[in-house]
Chains A and B, each alone.
Chain A
């Protein structure tokens, strides 16, 4: 049980975020109104995605140093979880955009950057599925994963800041941190980021364990 303390923390934090995210006071801002509470759910998706993708790259680098099937599975399932979080982030962002900016999608550098980055990771999954040889698949997708990460992170966090953008945290604007995110919101936002990030790691771990089990059972059948 002691090894799973972070899962319990995730459960506690997520339940707290669901309750406090709706009940805690938020700044009264025009246009955003109550939808500012989306911050507790939309933004943590991207935080969670970033951290799990960092983990994925870490496993890919480790795989290239010591090639074991376990590391390949961990890298793959982490990337898959990251892609899931990113897709949910895009979907929630699109809904939020509709009711604050008036359109489901705008040709905003932040939005397009995120979409391109998600496509790059989508190609990772396509690439993986195009190999029959397991070692070749693992090696080449590990290399691709490193390049995908190195391309996606500037698209998420650097390029949108260099131009004008509607999206907070782009166009040189420091997201909600400076003027909107007050101390009340921080009390929910930071737990939300930690809670959703831990959930991402939990999901990735479960998916990896299923894959590992599948592999072990398969090996036993062959033996």
Chain B
């Protein structure tokens, strides 16, 4: 657990590196009339609300999974003794 902070930082940097290309979407403009895409949703920025909500839900579920994993590890140690 002592060296978990640099690992967390590395993970965050990795996430950031993966996410940076998404910034390109800010420069994306509708060039063609058809087929129809959700351009309005992107232009008024509401898409970020959806993305944020989904990300929070997913993060919550994954956090639950991580804590479940830790609990299991503890239990396994207990049973071993």
Contacts and interface: CB of A to CB of B under 8 A. Distances in A.
Interface of A: 1, 4, 7-8, 11-16, 18-20, 22-25, 28-34, 187, 191, 202-203, 206, 209-210, 213, 216-217, 220
Interface in B1-53: 1, 3-4, 7, 11, 14-15, 18-19, 21-22, 24-25, 28, 32, 34-38, 47, 50-51
A134 B43 CA distance: 60
B62 to A, nearest CB: 5
Given A1-B4, A15-B58, A187-B21, A23 B47 contact: yes
Q: How large is the interface on B (under 10, 10 to 19, 20 to 34, 35 or more residues)?
A: 35 or more
Given A15-B15, A18-B54, A18-B58, A29 B66 contact: no
Contacts of A7: 66, 69
B22 A213 contact: no
Chain B facing A: main interface SS: helix
Contacts, number: 89
Given A33-B36, A216-B79, 20 more contacts: A1-B3, A12-B11, A12-B15, A13-B18, A14-B62, A15-B15, A15-B58, A22-B54, A23-B22, A23-B25, A23-B51, A24-B22, A25-B24, A28-B37, A187-B21, A191-B18, A202-B69, A206-B65, A213-B76, A217-B79
